[in-house]
Amino acid sequence: MVGIRSLAWARTSDLSPQQTIERLLELVRRPVEFERLSAAALKEPPRVRAMLGALGRQAGVPVEALVELRASLNPISRFDFGMLAALEQARDWQAK
């Protein structure tokens, strides 16, 4: 079972940034896991919601499944994605 803490794992991973992203994308590509993570992320800080949104977009999650995450973010805020700044969609999801 994947937890929201998996995103925090990206900060302390021994893997390269690209390997970390690939591992997280594997998890997010599972529709049931993404749905569960998305629901949990709404109770987490905005940075977590933004990172999950960027991961979801890169993983090919339908845009409709990302609406609630996007709406929960202040459009003028910017977030430190750490090594997840290498995500293709990071800038679109307000990465610094």
Residue 44 lies in domain: 5-93
pLDDT digits (tens), the chain, 96 positions:
445 555 554 556 678 888 889 999 999 999 999 999 999 999 999 999 999 999 999 999 999 999 999 999 999 999 999 989 999 999 999 999
Q: Determine the 3-state secondary structure of 95 from DSSP.
A: strand
Q: What is the DSSP letter of 79?
A: B
- What are the Cα distances from residue 13, in Å, to 4, 37, 41, 54, 91? 15, 19, 20, 18, 22
Count of structural domains, the chain: 1
